[in-house]
Structure 1
Amino acid sequence: MPKLTSCLLHTIVSTRLCSAVQICQRINTFAYGANDKRNRPPVFKEKDIFDKRIPGKAMEKYCLFINLPFILLDFIGKVPYWFLYELLRQIWDILYSDYPRKSWLSALEQSVQEFLQLFQTIFPEQFIPKFHFLLHAARNTSKYGPLKRQMNLRYEAKHHLLKQIANRCNNFINLPCTVSRRVQLRQCYELMDENTFKSYGISGKFRERRTTSFKKIIQNALHDDHLFTYGEFSQCVKWVLVDNVKYKIGDFFVFYLLGGEEIPLFVEIKYIIRIEKEWRFIVHCYDTVIFKENLWCYEIKPSDVNLVLNKNEFLTHKAEDCYRINNEYFIHVPYRLTLVE
């Protein structure tokens, strides 16, 4: 991903489609969503474009790669070799899928071969031996299951912490002892938090709200929820942690796959309420308009439907960000979704 991102940015500058200063300004000033903001890439410099390098950690590079179509939206149709980005996103959707189907593997193998041949032809100086591992992706998926379970991002994150400690401790005598001691002290400090081992029920501050103060359409949705009887007051929070999944107001989730093509339908959390020690989510439904292949995301539009869901009715358990650009709503799903067979 970083190799392709750096090559595309360098190509944009070399073809004078956009200057290096403007590219850096676009990347540095882009308004990332609430969930993408924690992986926001570091400050991008002109030298990085000319040197064909992407600074930052692995997740920061991934965040830039995923949001690159939104950053280059104004002239994305003119970007040379953009088909390589679409091809790699197609490969990544299958590799990162939770439940890849066997029928996808032949298409995956064909896409990998096509991508490697094109990349080696167009950017031969950037082709490195690590690309060879992609050739075995389809076979390894068939043999070992989803390769997502074998990712080393967690190890990279831990290694990044160790490197930070090593660079800042100014120890030149017994560095391994210092690093291990600092890591143990940090872990002890984190375990002091009383909520560390709680995976359910941690939430923001409770506030009471009259049920009649909700909009009429939401009151009707509450009335249709036959599992509980909603009284005069409801306890509302802005966020809650349920089974190690954080839900907060404004987050988007997939709650249904429509038809044989498995088109995802999205909902936005509007309110989080607690009743009889159970958490209920009042959500606003969005209709999926079309899949934008050049942006590799879905265009959605708000509907007039509001529902009351529980945690088990969400199809995905990772919140996504919705980007509003030119009065249109776009949302990207980082992997291909499918129902468990």
Structure 2
Amino acid sequence: MSSIYLAVLCKSNDVKEYGFNKILEPLLEDLAHLEEVGIFIPSVGHFVKGTVHVVIADNLGAHSIAGYVESFSSEYYCRFCTGKSSEIQINEVRSGGFSLRKRESYDAHLKSAQQTGSCCFGVKKECVFSTRLAHFHVLSGYPPDVMHDVFEGVVPFELKHCLSMLLSKKYFTFEFLNERIVNFPYKWTDKTNRPHAIPRSMFSQNTIGGNAHENWNLIRLLPFLVGHMVPEDEPAWLVLMDLKDIVELVVSPVHTDESIAYLDGKISEHRQRFQEVFPGVKLIPKEHFLEHYPELIKSYGPLVHLWTMRFEAKHHFFKQVARVTNCFKNIPLTLAAKHQLMISHSLKSYHLEKSALDVSTVSTVPLTVLRTEITQVIQDKYPDTEFVQITTSVTSKGLSYRNGMIVVCRSLDGLPEFAEIIQMCIVQKGLCFVLKGLCGWYREHFRAFELTSSPSREIFFLELSELADGYPLADYKVGGLRLVSLKRQIHS
């Protein structure tokens, strides 16, 4: 987050009174200069130009700056197509019934809105950035936000309706559900982002509430909480498991043509199933936005790289400063000054030779004191090694690893192969794992993999870069089964 800098800070009331044109004027002037003249870099020997790639924001923020209608109950609320709100309840995006916004049609809508002073197909006014930047366009400059669309939109909305149906069929009680959520033995990062108990207000609202991390954890681990109490052919459960599959695909950092096509089909199947199970429930706008994701991934790449999650975390710094200083006389100045001091400290303490690994404790030991099978796999990889640095806890690129965690070591025919971290070593300044191979069998009802030990699965040695997916996972005992649930889709 120290790489996220501050450009403009203002009060929301000032935005309402003066508009984004006035608020962003100093920034837009600098950006226009960057486009037209650039910055002279002595080491390069010439001016380097640049521009704004995209504006990352939640839906309300994106529509406000882009000049679209800010009410999502209006007739044209989608910034990606010109579908009517009534038609969105009937037709899918993949059916081709909606016209995607093109430059020619957008220009015509903007011209009409400027002449009449009223919205035209959801367009209210010209985008602030488009007015000053020659290489930025509103249609390609506002990607969707997975965090707000999925984890604070579709997931809590559909969890509310599906859980209500499961409760009405008496598969479990509301009290039992919350007891499982609160007392489940979460591990590692799952413990940090553990979901809160679901409030009773769920029954009178269209959502279970909760923040993005909590809802992500809940949809992923729900099969471990109550899956054993729900029949395999329960329609509401199948809706939730389809949504779990979609979530894993949407947050994947890598996509192929096949995965995008699979996501498109999965979203379509999920929509049909949801409407069959809940015929009287209207689709929310974010479910329509989700239907655009396959095509948007083709345009922007993996959308998880463009969500607001890191910026929301950045906001936490400002919230903390405001809470601690407790001075609101000129809060933008206070927050800006504190932030610049923090950035100054970060820049001063940073140096290019900083290690990519953050290790709490490390012990240098001779190979001879390790177990024979561990010694053997290390010597096979590094024959001349006599001593090795051992650690039980290490962080690399924001991901924390511990002994006992599960990693995906390979991907064979589209299926992940799992292994347990037995030992972690620092060899030649790189993180390496001593792993115990596991057999993994897919349990469709839980949308998870059952892990079993096998004498034929050997202990082997891999570097961090050799893992099929670097995200560490936790295994859980559920009804005598050892299960692990993926956090994101893994591609060969």
Give the TM-score normalised by structure 1: 0.84
Show structure 1 runs of 5+ residues with no match: none
- 1:146-186 Cα deviation digits (max 9, x unpaired): 22222222223334554565567655543333443454455
Trace 1:49-60 onto structure 2 (pairs within 5 A): 51=205, 53-60=207-214
Return the alpha-carbon distance in structure 1 between the equivalents of residues 208 and 273 of structure 2: 21
Query: Does 2:211 match 1:68?
Result: no
Trace 1:1-341 onto structure 2 (pairs within 5 A): 1-48=155-202, 51=205, 53-77=207-231, 80-121=235-276, 122=278, 124-125=280-281, 127-163=283-319, 170-171=326-327, 173-184=329-340, 198-225=354-381, 227-231=382-386, 233-242=387-396, 245-258=399-412, 260=413, 262-288=414-440, 290-304=441-455, 305-339=458-492
Return the alpha-carbon distance in structure 1 between the equivalents of residues 309 and 389 of structure 2: 38
Residues 302 and 148 (structure 1), Cα distance of their counterparts in 2 relative to 1, 3 Å cut: same
Return the alpha-carbon distance in structure 1 between the equivalents of residues 344 and 175 of structure 2: 45
Percent identity (aligned): 25
Which SS does the other structure have where 1:240 is aligned? strand
Residues 53 and 186 (structure 1), Cα distance of their counterparts in 2 relative to 1, 3 Å cut: farther
Cα offset, 1:244, TM superposition: 5.1
- 1:80-133 Cα deviation digits (max 9, x unpaired): 511111222232333222222213333332332332233345064463122111
Return the alpha-carbon distance in structure 2 between the equivalents of residues 161 and 60 of structure 1: 20
Show structure 2 runs of 5+ residues with no match: 1-154
Letter in 2 for 1:73: G
Aligned to 2:50: none
Larger Rg: 2
Letter in 2 for 1:7: H
Residues 180 and 46 (structure 1), Cα distance of their counterparts in 2 relative to 1, 3 Å cut: same
Return the alpha-carbon distance in structure 2 between the equivalents of residues 15 and 169 of structure 1: 51
Residues 105 and 211 (structure 1), Cα distance of their counterparts in 2 relative to 1, 3 Å cut: closer
Return the alpha-carbon distance in structure 1 between the equivalents of residues 374 and 237 of structure 2: 43
Return the alpha-carbon distance in structure 2 between the equivalents of residues 171 and 296 of structure 1: 49
Where relative contact order (Cα < 8 A, 6+ residues apart) is larger, the structure is 1
Cα offset, 1:9, TM superposition: 2.1
Say whether the 8 Å CA contact 2:199–2:208 is kept in structure 1. no
Return the alpha-carbon distance in structure 2 between the equivalents of residues 140 and 115 of structure 1: 19
Give the TM-score normalised by structure 2: 0.60
Say whether the 8 Å CA contact 1:255–1:266 is kept in structure 2. yes
Number of residue equivalences: 334
Aligned Cα root-mean-square deviation (Å):
3.0
Return the alpha-carbon distance in structure 2 between the equivalents of residues 197 and 25 of structure 1: 48
- Going by fraction, where is strand more abundant, 1 or 2? 1
